[in-house]
Amino acid sequence: MRNLMAGMVLACFGLPVQAGGVALVLGNQAYDTLTDAPESGQVMQTVSALEEMGFLVLAGEGLSAEEMRAQLAGSFEQILREDAERVVIVLSGHFATSDSGVWLMGTDSSSAGLALADGQGLRLDLVAEIATLASDAAVLWIAPADGSPELGPGLSAGLPETLDLPEALAVLRGPAAQVVQGLRASLRPGTTLASIARANRALTGEGALPETAPFLPDGFTPGARADTRAWALAQEADTEAGYQAYLDAFPNGQNAQAARTELDRIRNAPDRIEAALFLTRDERRAIQRDLTVLGFDTRGIDGIFGPGTRGAISGWQDLNGLGQTGYLDRDQIFTLSAQAAARAAEIEAEERARREAEERADREFWALTGAAGDEPGLRSYLDRYPQGIFAGLARERLDQIATARQAEQRDRDLAAWRRARALDTIAAYEGYLRDWPEGEFVANARARIDQRRPVPQPPVAEPRPDPAPETEAPAVAQARAAEAALGLSQPTRLLIERRLERLGLDPGPIDGVFDDQTRVAIRQAQTRFDLVPTGYVDQDFLTMMVSNLFREFFN
């Protein structure tokens, strides 16, 4: 595995080493269980070319999924920190594709399939979203490895024909050697990505490939741009460390003499007394915490003495009758620490008393309301203490009450339906509809009523032929045809009717004949299973009724 880090000295003070942009290069060659991809290592040749053009490059080869995500997180941080104008990402290795996404697989990936793809690979859509944070241009170079390793159910090896990625992102993909060649060509100032895609037939381009705007403009000089940006940030910091960091990076830079002048000014100022103490970052944080405890706002506890901290020091010095220099000496630090310790003890005692009072009130209110376990009391407690000591218990008891109420309601509905079935009269079914207008068996009751009402005998007329199949609704005709194609046997039809009855639905006589009542029951079951309620059996419904899925749902 290879990890590259750049700009460590200047990064400590927020000064960038490069001005070309930020780049991430990942090449996975040797896999633990999948076939190796030796050609993927070629993309590491792009690192030096990117660094020469001023890019801050993070790179790694032979990485696990977790390590790739860590490198991507580092790139994300640098893109935001540098406010990168350009972002280049190069990925090579085995890729996996499904309907839900594309992944670069880590070297520790196995043939576990789609369910574990996010844990074993790096999602391409996430990479693309981070790349498009570039303010000017973002390009993703992809070099899929040769071969088609077995990745498990739900995953296919390789890339889809087209990638569903942000429009602002340029994507070029092809063999590793051609990707290296194309990327190097793109780093020649004045070269457009579109011209590279046209010139190399082995590369496929997608997304933002402008014909006129080059990836790096003519006359692009990363060194001069870095000098200018570094000097601006050094001036903004206006500290010895900042100016020294600039000189370390650009000892002969265009602002080197100005940086030395500023260093002389700082080193001869009164603040040198504090600098001579060589306070560590932790000691500075401790001073900021002490000032904060005493009520002075340092604008953060980060170990950096900026304007907020200097102003807080001046305020404390004024309160204690000291000269307001904004800088501390050793005696003042000791005095400040002692005052803060005394005040911290007072605050802790006050906070402890406040917490104890709040807890007492919480417990007393619970005893008056929720402890009894009734719904009004539980809700009253949660209204006042949604995050209280007994909030979890209150919600659990309310859930139990709601579950019991629902079960009771369903039992009463089912009992009413069984009474109506036992009587099996129009009046009984009408009584059920009147008492349970929203009941689960409303459709069954109406169907039973329709069956028992006398049907007016129409005048005898000449027989008419059945309507042509073309007059039937297309959806119904399609559902009818799908059921017919299953060729349901008599035992299968009997099984379906029995299981509809187990669901509390009314399929009519259990005789293997799907009459109108059976169709009503099938539609109700399809609605319950989140299937299209056609009233006809299709493969999904048949699988649900004859497999373990039915038993799981029913239980």
Q: What is the DSSP string of 214-272?
A: -SS-TT--HHHHHHHHHHHHHHHH-SHHHHHHHHHH-TTSTTHHHHHHHHHHHHTSTTH
Q: Which residues of 318-337 are buried (b: 16+ CB within 10 A; e: fewer)?
A: eeeebeebbbbeeebbeebe
Which CATH number is 50's domain given? 3.40.50.1460
Q: Is there a single domain that holds both residue 202 and residue 323?
A: no
Q: Is there a single domain that holds both residue 33 and residue 125?
A: yes
Which CATH number is 336's domain given? 1.10.101
Asked if residue 49 belongs to a domain, the reply is: yes
Asked if residue 121 belongs to a domain, the reply is: yes
Domain boundary among 365, 399, 421: 365
The sheet carrying 101-105 orders its strands as: 121-123, 101-105, 95-98, 156-157
Query: Phi first, then psi: what are they for 109, rounded to 5°?
Result: -75, 155
Count, residues in the chain:
555
Q: Is there a single domain that holds both residue 339 and residue 374?
A: no
Q: Is there a single domain that holds both residue 74 and residue 181?
A: yes
Q: Is there a single domain that holds both residue 134 and residue 13?
A: yes
Domain boundary among 365, 395, 415: 365
The rounded distance, in Å, linking the Cα atoms of 75 and 86 is 12
Q: Is there a single domain that holds both residue 489 and residue 541?
A: yes
Tokens of 537: 């059996």
pTM for the predicted model, two decimal places: 0.44
Tokens of 374: 């009734």
Strand partners, 56: 22
- Pairing between strand 86-93 and 21-27? parallel
Q: Is there a single domain that holds both residue 256 and residue 159?
A: no
The rounded distance, in Å, linking the Cα atoms of 453 and 204 is 71
Query: How many CA within 13 A on the CB side of residue 70?
Result: 12
Give Cβ neighbours of residue 200 (< 8 Å, ≥ 6 apart).
Answer: 174, 178, 181, 182
Domain boundary among 348, 365, 382: 365
User: Residue 157 is which amino acid?
Assistant: A
How many structural domains does the chain have? 5
Asked if residue 461 belongs to a domain, the reply is: no
What domain range is 429 assigned to?
369-453
Q: What is the pLDDT along the chain (555 residues), one digit of tens a residue?
A: 444 444 333 444 444 444 578 999 999 998 999 999 999 899 999 998 898 888 999 999 999 999 999 999 999 999 998 888 899 999 999 999 999 999 999 999 988 899 999 999 999 999 999 999 988 899 999 999 988 899 999 999 999 999 988 988 999 999 999 999 999 999 999 999 999 999 999 999 999 898 888 999 887 877 666 677 788 889 999 998 999 998 887 888 889 999 999 988 887 677 788 988 999 999 999 999 999 999 999 999 999 999 999 999 999 999 999 989 999 999 999 999 999 999 999 999 999 999 999 999 999 999 999 888 899 999 999 999 999 999 999 999 999 999 999 999 999 999 999 999 898 889 899 999 999 999 999 999 999 898 888 766 555 444 444 444 555 678 888 999 989 998 899 899 999 999 999 999 999 999 989 999 999 999 999 998 888 899 999 988 988 887 644 554 455
Scanning the structure block, which residue is given the tokens 């992102």? 169
Asked if residue 404 belongs to a domain, the reply is: yes
